[in-house]
């Protein structure tokens, strides 16, 4: 079918919870994708960082193909021969000793919330049902009813109550406000090291270290949602590494499945994850052999540190390129590794309109919150491709200014 026919067919049967760009993709390799009519695009979204290693990475595809022929699912009612290897290598990558595998990022966040509450009751002695968790304004941790209950985005939150109520919201990047919100029943702090959905919002230097110090001093768990920011995106294995901060719980997803299938995990030490007993949490597909095979291959790509170094080397190219566009209508930009957000002068274009124009120049990106555009190309992008990406962003800006 053509692009128009495919989009019409989708609209006739799908719930309208997305408004995709008008492109229908059919193939991809590395940083490049192709649509049903043969046009090629540079993918500057990478599945919201789920495709950190690019489309159809040969190591990840081979791991999936080999496992597909052997065994795909056992449930956790039985052991499988892939889970221990995956969990051991992932725990080592995180510097922890326990892993709880799940499927999606939202599931992993929900799991971490449950763990933090159970830890507060069994380790700290808080009264059952009283534990509270501090979260940040502008957060995006998923779309379950628990999570949207503490969202500050009306589009995510409105119309889905009643809500849990066990969360206290403070401004992102404000350590003093966070500490002021701590009460005797506070159990944990849940935070994204960098807020991706909000527009790649980077906190002030020292913020994460200050949060870690507050948690240590007040006896709280620090839960780091590294679903988008982790696994190489910022030039470090985890975004927390930039401030040498080690959270009590790593929440991982997206790139952990290599863009092949959903894989997520909560990673912590036994002192924390050990609060869960048999039957208190689980997932039919969590830790399935296929997920473990792909997840272990992902960890093997990160263990040497080469891809993180590659990202750090290219980050200044992205930073310098976006800085040049201030005269073309980019009001502000933020860059960490190969992850950027930039805010457009609304007189030039909305974020959506810019992404539509950028598509005509052969690049796919995603807007958020009106005037903000996010760039997150696969980490395997080379310098020549990154320069081409920036040139096409510039061409799109120039075209919009002329229109």
Do 202 and 334 touch, CB atoms closer than 8 A?
yes
Chain-centroid distance of CA 1 in Å reads: 32
Q: Report the alpha-carbon distance of residue 159 to residue 147 in Å, rounded.
A: 14
C-alpha–C-alpha distance, residues 293 and 271, integer Å: 27
Cβ neighbors of 262 (< 8 A, separation 6 or more) are 103, 104, 253, 291
Question: Exposed, middle or buried by CB within 10 Å (0-12, 13-18, 19+), for 385?
Answer: middle
Nearest to 30 by CA among 381, 392, 391, 385: 381
Tokens of 239: 């975004």
Interatomic CA distance for residues 51 and 35, integer angstroms: 18
Pairing of strands 372-375, 339-344: antiparallel
Angle at 269 between CA 268 and CA 270, to 5 degrees: 125
Which residue numbers are catalytic?
A: 140, 225, 254
Q: Give alpha helix (H) positions in 161-220.
A: 175-180, 207-218
In this structure, are residues 253 and 263 in contact, taking their beta carbons and an 8 Å threshold? yes
CB 250 within 8 A of CB 96: yes
Q: Which is nearest to 271 in space by CA: 133, 130, 122? A: 122
Q: Is 212 exposed, middle or buried (0-12, 13-18, 19+ CB in 10 A)?
A: buried
Percent helix, strand, coil in the chain, to 5, is: 40, 20, 40
Q: How far apart are CA 170 and CA 152, in angstroms?
A: 10
**Hey, is 188 helix, strand or coil?**
strand
């Amino acid at each position: 079918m053509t692009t128009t026919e495919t989009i019409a067919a989708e609209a006739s049967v799908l719930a309208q919870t997305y408004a995709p760009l008008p492109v229908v993709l059919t193939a991809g390799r590395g940083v490049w994708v192709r649509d049903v009519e043969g046009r090629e695009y540079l993918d500057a979204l990478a599945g919201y960082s789920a495709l950190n290693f690019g489309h159809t990475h040969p190591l990840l595809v081979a791991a999936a193909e080999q496992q597909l022929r052997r065994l795909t699912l056992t449930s956790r009612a039985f052991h499988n021969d892939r889970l221990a290897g995956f969990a051991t290598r992932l725990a080592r990558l995180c510097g922890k000793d326990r892993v709880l595998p799940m499927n999606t990022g939202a599931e992993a966040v929900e799991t971490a919330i449950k763990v933090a509450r159970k830890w507060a009751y069994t380790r700290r002695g808080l009264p059952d049902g009283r534990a509270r968790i501090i979260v940040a304004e502008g957060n995006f941790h998923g779309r379950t009813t628990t999570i949207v209950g503490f969202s500050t985005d009306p589009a995510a939150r409105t119309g889905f109550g009643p809500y849990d109520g066990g969360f206290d919201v403070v401004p992102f990047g404000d350590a003093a406000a966070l500490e002021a919100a701590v009460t005797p029943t506070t159990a944990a702090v849940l935070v994204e090291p960098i807020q991706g959905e909000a527009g790649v919002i980077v906190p002030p230097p020292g913020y994460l270290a200050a949060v870690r110090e507050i948690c240590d001093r007040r006896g709280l768990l620090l839960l780091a949602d590294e679903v988008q920011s982790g696994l190489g995106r910022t030039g470090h294995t985890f975004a927390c590494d930039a401030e040498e901060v080690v959270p009590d719980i790593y929440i991982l997803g997206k790139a952990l499945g290599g863009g092949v299938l959903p894989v997520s995990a909560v990673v912590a030490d036994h002192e924390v994850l050990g609060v869960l007993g048999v039957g208190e949490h689980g997932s039919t597909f969590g830790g399935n052999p296929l997920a473990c095979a792909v997840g272990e291959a992902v960890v093997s790509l990160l263990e040497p540190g080469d891809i993180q170094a590659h990202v750090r080397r290219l980050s200044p190219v992205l930073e310098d390129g976006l800085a040049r566009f201030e005269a073309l209508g980019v009001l502000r930009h933020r860059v960490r590794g190969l992850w950027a957000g930039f805010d457009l002068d609304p007189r030039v274009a909305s974020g959506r309109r810019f992404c539509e124009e950028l598509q005509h120049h052969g690049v796919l990106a995603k807007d958020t919150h009106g005037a903000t555009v996010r760039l997150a190309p696969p980490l395997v992008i080379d310098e020549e491709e990154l320069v081409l990406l920036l040139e096409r962003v510039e061409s799109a800006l120039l075209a919009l200014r002329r229109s």
